[in-house]
Amino acid sequence: MEYLLTTNGLTKQYGRHKAVNAADIHVKRGDIYGLIGRNGAGKTTLLKMISGLAKPTDGGFSFFGKSGKEVYGYMSRIGALIEAPGLYPNLSAAQNLKLKCLAAGVRRNGIIEELLGTVGLASAGKKKVRNFSLGMKQRLGIALALVGDPDLIILDEPINGLDPQGIAEVRETLARLNKEKNITFIISSHILEELSKTATVYGIMHNGVILQEMTRDELLEKCSERIELKADDTAMACTVLEKIGITEYKVADADTIQIFERLNDSGDITSALASDGIKTLEISLKNESLEDYYLNLTGGKSDV
């Protein structure tokens, strides 16, 4: 598998505290990678390291297959918006973009209008940024990160503090840039439910550690409504399920069968098993929300 970005044991230690502890993440081209973790999990620190804004204490990362010092030669292909976008409030959106283009040596004619249009701010170019809503500021921040045509854009909590309208606008902007320009994104959030509407892959971070990486389908499957069944003979139990017409099931680990259809038919299932001499050891209906799943994984109540 060819990755756009991978980290390898990436670690950042402040004093005795490891803000990021041997993190390995894997980002493919075209992914919208959602880095999810509670406040203080280490997301910003991880994103700062892969944007070149903080130096790792240990480990490293590779970008386009390049690693070590060589990777820093490719930093211009990464656009980052970490913490609040650095905007000049008394300048217009267009002037803010012009400054960034000058700093990055981008001179192409029409680029400012193009960038404003890309993030849906075409009609607000002349407006002073101090009069922008938070959502507009975030979108202008994304436009700034787009200067220089990066392959990867890193956004730290891009929906934090936005109202539903602002969230929808940012989400739509990311999805469009991903689809039309094939830009890969890494976005962080502490709200899995929100991220789940945008991200295609997830890295779940807790106490500086990446606990799990999974695709959206894998995550949704883990959270989908299902019957979980344990029987004294798993293989035979599967045969009986098929005999009574159940095909949407899978054996999740050695002895747990997950059934995704006929969720109200637990009684019929256990009787069918019993009549073939198979003992049901456990049967239950699982209906875990995304947030429950995340809380269980990170061990306890949310602090948000």
Give the residues lining the site for ligand ATP (CB under 6 A): 14, 19, 37, 39-45, 190
Q: Residue 88 carries which side chain, given as an amino acid letter? A: Y
Nearest to ligand ATP of 43, 226 (CB atom): 43
Return the C-alpha torsion angle 16, 17, 22, 27, nearest 10: -150
**Angle (CA) 128 133 139, round 5°:** 85
Least gap, CB of 205 to ligand ATP (angstroms): 7
Least gap, CB of 267 to ligand ATP (angstroms): 46
193, 288 contact by CB (below 8 A): no
Nearest to ligand ATP of 151, 157 (CB atom): 157
Burial of 304 (0-12, 13-18, 19+ CB in 10 A): exposed
29: tokens are 């081209």
**Count of Cβ atoms closer than 10 Å to residue 139 Cβ:** 26
The HSE-up count of residue 108 (CA atoms within 13 Å, CB side) is 11
241: tokens are 């399920």
Least gap, CB of 66 to ligand ATP (angstroms): 25
Nearest to ligand ATP of 39, 224 (CB atom): 39
**Count of Cβ atoms closer than 10 Å to residue 146 Cβ:** 22
Residue with tokens 């609040």: 84
281, 231 contact by CB (below 8 A): yes
Nearest to ligand ATP of 41, 140 (CB atom): 41
Least gap, CB of 80 to ligand ATP (angstroms): 14
Burial of 162 (0-12, 13-18, 19+ CB in 10 A): buried
Nearest to ligand ATP of 20, 229 (CB atom): 20
Nearest to ligand ATP of 207, 234 (CB atom): 207
Beta bridge partners of 1: none
**Count of Cβ atoms closer than 10 Å to residue 184 Cβ:** 22
Q: How far apart are CA 228 and CA 90, in angstroms?
A: 59
Least gap, CB of 160 to ligand ATP (angstroms): 8
Least gap, CB of 16 to ligand ATP (angstroms): 10
Least gap, CB of 291 to ligand ATP (angstroms): 17
Burial of 52 (0-12, 13-18, 19+ CB in 10 A): middle
Least gap, CB of 39 to ligand ATP (angstroms): 3
Nearest to ligand ATP of 30, 40 (CB atom): 40
- Spacing of C-alpha 240 from chain mean position: 39
Nearest to ligand ATP of 21, 198 (CB atom): 21
